[in-house]
Amino acid sequence: MSTPSKKPRPDRQPAPSRQKPSKGESVTVEYIKAILFAVGLALVIRTFVVQAFRIPSGSMEDTLLVGDFLLANKFVYGAKIPFAEIRLPALSKPKSGDIVIFQYPLDPDRDFIKRVVATAGDTVEIRDKILYVNSQRAIDPPRSKYLDPRILSPHTSSGHRDHFGPEKVPEGHYFVMGDNRDNSEDSRYWGFLDHKWIRAQAFILYWSWTPDVDAPIYQNLSSIPKIFFYNLFHIPDRTRWRRIGMLIE
């Protein structure tokens, strides 16, 4: 009995070999991944956790000075989700004494920084420069100041600087003032601050830079080296070393 002959099996073709990336290519890919991760992490931190701000005016003197650079806590009040009117859960609400950064209600593209002096349900009144909350005289912050000895009449256009109310703070709103009481554009001028505008709570100074009227300013790209070397040379005398790392109160 003859056995059936087996059909010849076709020769197996070797699987195409995958070309391994060269050492230089793999290092480049790893660098790109690391950079993208770092950028993404920085964006997440800036959006939801902490953000840096610079003090451009003297409205919070002498608590905050022109040239102070600070970090602000965004998650404590519930950070906003970009491109949506939604906030993450807050750890707490702003309370009297907190220094908050917010979008200026009359121009939301600008950031302001002021101190909360009254919250929802409080009755605010200013008489002859003196702040009263719920009929009790409020204690001025330790580094606050008054530069103008005059008391403006409540019947003048600027009288609300030294006279206000009494008015009750509505629900979801705050009354904010600058520590430089005679030189601050705050709730006395544009009204109660809606919670939706609040961005963060100021908490620490990471740098402080004394203004210098002689410092070169940016004009074009060619001015950058001059600005860089001028500021580098003047770091020792322009830096307010004692303020670096100071908690904001």
Catalytic residue (choose from 5, 23, 26, 59): 59
114 is catalytic: yes
59 is catalytic: yes
Catalytic residue (choose from 114, 144, 184, 208): 114
Bridge partners for 71 per DSSP: 52, 204
The residues, any chain, with a CB within 8 Å of residue 220's CB and separated by 6 or more, are: none
Cβ atoms of 205 and 70 closer than 8 Å: yes
Q: Where are the beta strands (DSSP E) in 83-241?
A: 99-104, 107-118, 123-127, 130-133, 136-137, 164-168, 173-177, 193-194, 198-208
Containing H/E element for 32?
Answer: helix 23-48
Backbone angles phi, psi at 230, to 5 degrees: -65, -50
Distance CA(102)–CA(191), nearest Å, equals 14
Starting from the edge strand earliest in sequence, which strands make up the sheet with 68-73, in order?
A: 50-54, 68-73, 198-208, 99-104, 107-118, 173-177, 193-194
Distance CA(205)–CA(224), nearest Å, equals 26
Catalytic residues: 59, 114
